[in-house]
Amino acid sequence: MDSPASPARRRVLTASLAAFGAAAVPGFAAAAAASATRIVLLGTAGGPTPKALRAAPASAVVVGDAVYVVDCGNGVARQLALAGLRLGSLRGVFVTHHHSDHNADYGNLLLLAWAADLRTPVDAWGPPPLKRMTRQFLRMNEVDIRTRIADEGRPDPATLIRAHDLRAHDLRAGGEVMRDERVRVRAAVVEHPPLRPAFAYRFDTADRSVVFSGDTRPSEALIELARGADVLVHEVMYLPALEKLIASEPQAARLRQHLLDSHTSAEQVGRVATAAGVKTLVLNHFVPGGDPALTDEVWRAAVAPHFGGELVIGRDLMTL
Catalytic residue annotation: 101
Neighbouring residues of 45: CB distance < 8 A, sequence distance ≥ 6: 51, 53, 54, 55, 56, 57, 73, 101, 285, 286, 289, 290
CB distance 255 to 244 below 8 Å: no
Upstream peptide bond of 292 is cis (omega within 30 degrees of 0)? no
Cα angle for residues 269, 275, 278 (degrees, 5° grid): 80
Which residue stretches of 69-209 are H helix?
Answer: 76-82, 100-103, 106-116, 130-140, 142-152, 168-171
* CA 306 vs CA 48, 223, 237, 262: distances in Å: 29, 15, 15, 20
Burial (0-12, 13-18, 19+ Cβ within 10 Å), 292 = exposed
Burial (0-12, 13-18, 19+ Cβ within 10 Å), 290 = middle
The pairing of beta strand 66-70 with beta strand 184-192: unpaired
